[in-house]
């Protein structure tokens, strides 16, 4: 576990050195959401109705921006081969990289979410549920995204391939994340949606690092 924390610290250090990636992700998240009022009009009732869906869709797309580089840099400079040969299981290496991706991508998106919620005029009772769904759902996006990043490692136009592979996997997270917010707005039970979101996270946590590690070994063979 100490070795895994060392890798996590290394990934965070590299992310801070190239902090432009995190800033780009947050800027895309905000700017893409801001475009929707120009497209659908300034009607407050319409914006409040579509706000949860827009925020989640844009967050989903923003999370994919940095997926391609999750393993690519280490693959290009040979570090990934050394990590594969290290005593630390490759699954823990992958998990550390996923954690770093969420800290540098998912966490900034959560911080920026209240601003967009205010922009779209979401009801006050939806704010805590929106943040809670983002807090549960964004780690799942990073976990699922690592599979696409590993499967497309070394491929040409890997970013496009990642989108094609990952987007279908993101759909359940999107459905139940938005569903929980809509339930909070309409006064319906929120707990079932949150439990399903949490279940997706619990299932993805052990399976995704294992699947990504297997794909990485295949890419290095």
pLDDT of residue 137: 94
User: Apex CA 28: angle with CA 24 and CA 31, to 5°?
Assistant: 130
Percent of the chain surpassing pLDDT 90: 41
Average pLDDT of the chain is 86
pLDDT of residue 104: 87
pLDDT of residue 195: 96
Q: Nearest CA to 146 among 59, 221, 209?
A: 209
Above 80 in pLDDT, residue 213? yes
Q: 73, exposed or middle or buried, with CB in 10 Å at 0-12, 13-18, 19+?
A: middle
Chain centroid to CA 169: 12
* C-beta separation of 179 from 98 below 8 A: no
pLDDT, tens digit, for every residue of 123-162? 888 899 999 999 999 999 999 999 988 888 877 766 778 8
Q: What is the pTM of this model?
A: 0.89
Above 90 in pLDDT, residue 163? no
- Residue 167: how many other CB atoms lie within 10 Å: 15
- Residue 161: how many other CB atoms lie within 10 Å: 16
Above 90 in pLDDT, residue 186? no
Provide the residue ranges of all domains of the chain, joining segments of one domain with +: 2-220
Tokens in use for 22?
Answer: 């995190």
pLDDT of residue 219: 79
Distance (Å, whole) CA 208 – CA 97: 12
pLDDT, tens digit, for every residue of 16-69? 766 567 788 889 999 999 998 888 887 888 888 888 999 999 999 998 888 887
Region of residue 22 (phi > 0: left; psi between -120 and 50: alpha; otherwise: beta)? alpha
pLDDT of residue 43: 84
């Amino acid at each position: 576990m100490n070795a895994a924390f060392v890798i996590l610290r290394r990934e965070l250090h590299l992310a801070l050195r190239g902090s432009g990636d995190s800033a780009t992700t947050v800027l895309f998240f905000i700017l893409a959401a801001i475009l929707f009022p120009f497209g659908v009009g300034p009607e407050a009732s319409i914006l409040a109705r579509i706000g949860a869906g827009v925020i989640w869709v844009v967050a989903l797309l923003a999370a994919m921006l940095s997926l391609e580089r999750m393993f690519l840099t280490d693959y290009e400079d040979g570090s990934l081969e050394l990590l594969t040969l290290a005593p630390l299981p490759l699954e823990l290496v992958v998990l550390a990289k996923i954690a770093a991706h969420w800290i540098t991508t998912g966490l900034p998106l959560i911080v920026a979410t209240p601003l967009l919620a205010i922009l779209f005029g979401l009801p006050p009772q939806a704010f805590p549920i929106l943040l809670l769904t983002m807090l549960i759902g964004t780690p799942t996006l990073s976990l699922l995204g690592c599979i696409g990043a590993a499967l497309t490692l070394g491929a040409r136009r890997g970013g496009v391939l990642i989108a094609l592979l990952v987007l279908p996997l993101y759909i359940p997270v999107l459905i139940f994340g938005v569903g929980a917010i809509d339930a909070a707005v309409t006064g319906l039970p929120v707990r079932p949606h949150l439990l399903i979101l949490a279940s997706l996270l619990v299932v993805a946590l052990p399976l995704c690092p294992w699947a990504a590690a297997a794909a990485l070994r295949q890419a290095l063979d």
